[in-house]
Amino acid sequence: MSEFQDRRTIQEIVLNARTVAIVGLSASELRASHFVGYYLQRHGYRVIPVNPNEEHILGERVYPSLRDVPERIDVVDVFRHPAAVPEIAREAVEAGAGALWLQFGVISQEGARIAQEGGIPVVMDRCLKIEHARLLGRMHWMGFDTGVIVGSRS
Amino acid sequence: MDEAPRDFGFNTRSVHAGQRPDPYTGASATPIYQTAGFVFEDTESASAYFNLQEYGNVYSRIMNPTVAAFEERLANLEGGAGAVAFASGLAAQAGLFFVLLDPGDRIAVAKALYGGSTAQLNHLARKLQITLDWVDMDDPDGWRRSVTAETKALFAETIANPGGNVLDIELAAAVAHEVGAPLVVDNTFATPYLCRPLEFGADLVIHSATKFLAGNGTTIAGAVVDSGTFDWSNGRFPSIAEPSTAYHGLKFHETFGVYGLLMKLRSETLRDFGAVLAPFNAFLLLLGMESLAVRMDRHVANGLAVAEWLREQPGVGAVRHPALPDSPYRPLVDRYLPLGAGSVFSFDLESGREGGRRFIEALSLWSHLANVGDTKSLVIHPASTTHRQLSDDELAASGVAPGTVRLSVGLEDVDDLVWDLERGLHAARSSAVTA
């Protein structure tokens, strides 16, 4: 698992991505996917919802699958059952996405292998919101360990 | 970002973790954010903070940037996902058990426990209809015999106060996980410099930060540290896994993952208990923790030197320092506390209750007071203070002899500490002759 939780890979994705397609983004404000989508929008990311059952979420048009998204995707962020991941990984490779990010509990070795063979870096069992908040955000205001050790005024 | 992130060492993290130079002023020391409230940027941000959709400062009864720097530093040193600070160690303990337990639950608790914790747990048990199963932590089968299908937590101290019993953390963690319960360890006497229980399978660590973490005996404080690895959705912890009525049906564990328990502890329990750590106290803790490793090395060296000296002295019975070569806890010290077993331990005067009183009265450098983990050396005689109302038989039942003395060895010169103890032992021996 640790090969899919490389801190440098995570940093590069969080710092450089602009457009995040969230596969399985829920319209319910109480679901973790909605928390993440709302947070990413607040911090300047363009969020593209992917969900076959909705039309608009977080003010954005929803696409039924990754194949239907008409623009460049920097990160495919997945909130789906692990069994759905291999197909999502194939679609991500076809779409030329910049990275495949699998949220907490979305663990699929096969999906990760498909993405890697397609030349896409993979992060697994990590939360994009938390990693952003750790590196750039305000997670340190809530007593969480960010791992940030710095004595200079960067 | 070409460079790989660095894994910094314990000393570096003791000085820097949780604190960044203030981006606005450049202040190098952590500012004391002595404010009750925080002005919102706009209405959208305010509602995002209240809905827990964004990390933001709202009110110092729930979070405060100075307190957060202390929380992050402690979490970092313990190897946890995060921490929540409280006004005292007992407040932290009450807050944690309040989150974990529902009426009718049971917890397995080591009998060798700080008296204040025993009193609190008995109180919680009465008020919350909790059953306490007391465990002999020295018995290898003790934990397994004491847990049931209803056990919701196992609780013990890394180094017990005042007996010096050392917990077999891996053993207790294995039993806890067999029944789907977390192991909670009070790591006050060891500090994360000497032992990090989470690395041995414990799930939660609590601290009285009043002691070695603050270091100077200036500050009452406590904290809960969570490993973030326990599965609160295993069906046994509905208050953490199921929808919360306080947040419109939010499921803390599902939504916040490894941070679920900590978010719940902060935004519900601390919010409602109000036993919050003051920003100035957090500032003092941050100062203390900068020198944690340096101080603990000296505490350990002084403590062992005093213990070794004491057991050569006439009139001294048992010396219960767990790192002494013939201590029954020495194998556990080697395994869990390789850098030392702290500096709080007890010993027995052969001259009994009256000898203990004379011993204390003859000391002039050691302070007679009810705290431990100070830079100053501290001493207390339970039979004439905390346990004064008990008969000799009742004392024995509580594991304290009439002549038992507890020491917390500070950072003074060992020669001076021994000089004073010699005077105390002389007075105690005189009492034995005349009595």
- B319 residue type, one letter: V
> In whole angstroms, what is the distance from residue A34 CA to residue A79 CA?
10
Instruction: Answer whether residue B221 shows pLDDT above 50.
Output: yes
Rounded to the nearest angstrom, the minimum Cα separation between A80 and chain B is 13
pTM of the predicted model, to two decimals? 0.94
Whether the Cβ atoms of residue A33 and residue A25 lie closer than 8 Å to each other: yes
Window B:16-35, CB contacts with A under 8 Å: 16-18, 20-21, 23, 26
Q: How large a percentage of chain A has pLDDT more than 70?
A: 99
In b/e form, how buried is each residue of B281-320, taking b as 16+ CB within 10 angstroms?
bbbbbbbbbbbbbebbebbbebbbbbbebbeebebbeebb
Strand order in the sheet with B378-380: B316-320, B344-349, B404-408, B378-380, B367-368
In the prediction, which pLDDT does B397 show?
67
Give B249 or A92, the one with higher predicted confidence: A92
Q: How far is CA B348 from CA B65, B325, B352, in A?
A: 46, 18, 8
Q: How large a percentage of chain B has pLDDT more than 90?
A: 83
pLDDT digits (tens, 9 = 90+) for A18-76: 999 999 999 998 899 999 999 999 999 999 999 999 999 999 999 999 999 999 999 99
Q: How far is CA B125 from CA A53, B74, B94, B121, B266, in A?
A: 49, 29, 11, 6, 23
Question: Residue B380 class from Cβ within 10 Å (0-12 exposed, 13-18 middle, 19+ buried)?
Answer: buried
In the prediction, which pLDDT does B2 show?
57
DSSP string for B94-117: HHHHHHH--TT-EEEEESS--HHH
In the prediction, which pLDDT does B246 show?
85
> Chain A partners of B72 at a C-beta cutoff of 8 Å?
140, 143-146
* Tokens found for residue A96: 């030329």
Give B248 or B410, the one with higher predicted confidence: B410
> In whole angstroms, what is the distance from residue B143 CA to residue B248 CA?
39
Q: Is A11 in contact with B1 (Cβ distance < 8 A)?
A: yes
pLDDT digits (tens, 9 = 90+) for B15-73: 999 999 988 899 999 999 999 999 999 999 999 998 888 899 999 999 999 999 999 99
Q: How far is CA B195 from CA B2, B206, B289, B340, in A?
A: 34, 13, 15, 9
pLDDT digits (tens, 9 = 90+) for A7-33: 889 999 999 999 999 999 999 988 999
Q: What is the mean pLDDT of residues B373-377?
A: 97
Q: How confident is the prediction for chain A on average, in pLDDT?
A: 94
In the prediction, which pLDDT does A74 show?
98
Beta partners for residue B300, in sequence order: none
> Chain A partners of B65 at a C-beta cutoff of 8 Å?
141
Q: Is B266 in contact with A142 (Cβ distance < 8 A)?
A: yes
Locate all alpha helices (DSSP H) within B235-388, ordered by sequence.
238-241, 252-256, 260-264, 271-273, 279-290, 292-310, 330-336, 352-362
DSSP 3-state of B349:
strand
In the prediction, which pLDDT does A136 show?
85
Half-sphere exposure of residue B347: CA atoms within 13 angstroms, side-chain side? 30
Query: A with B: how many residue pairs have Cβ under 8 Å apart?
Result: 107
pLDDT digits (tens, 9 = 90+) for B91-107: 999 999 999 999 999 99
Q: Is B109 an interface residue toward A (CB < 8 Å)?
A: no
pLDDT classification of B432: cutoffs 50, 70, 90: low
Instruction: Answer whether residue B390 shows pLDDT above 90.
Output: no
pLDDT classification of B431: cutoffs 50, 70, 90: low
pLDDT classification of A115: cutoffs 50, 70, 90: very high
In the prediction, which pLDDT does B435 show?
44
> In whole angstroms, what is the distance from residue B46 CA to residue B350 CA?
65
Rounded to the nearest angstrom, the minimum Cα separation between B369 and chain A is 32
What 8-state DSSP symbol labels residue B268? I
> In whole angstroms, what is the distance from residue B135 CA to residue B126 CA?
19
> In whole angstroms, what is the distance from residue B189 CA to residue B213 CA?
10
Q: ∠ CA(B194), CA(B198), CA(B204), 5° rounding? A: 115
Tell me: ipTM over 0.95: no
Closest CA to B92 of B169, B240, B205: B205
> In whole angstroms, what is the distance from residue B295 CA to residue B375 CA?
8
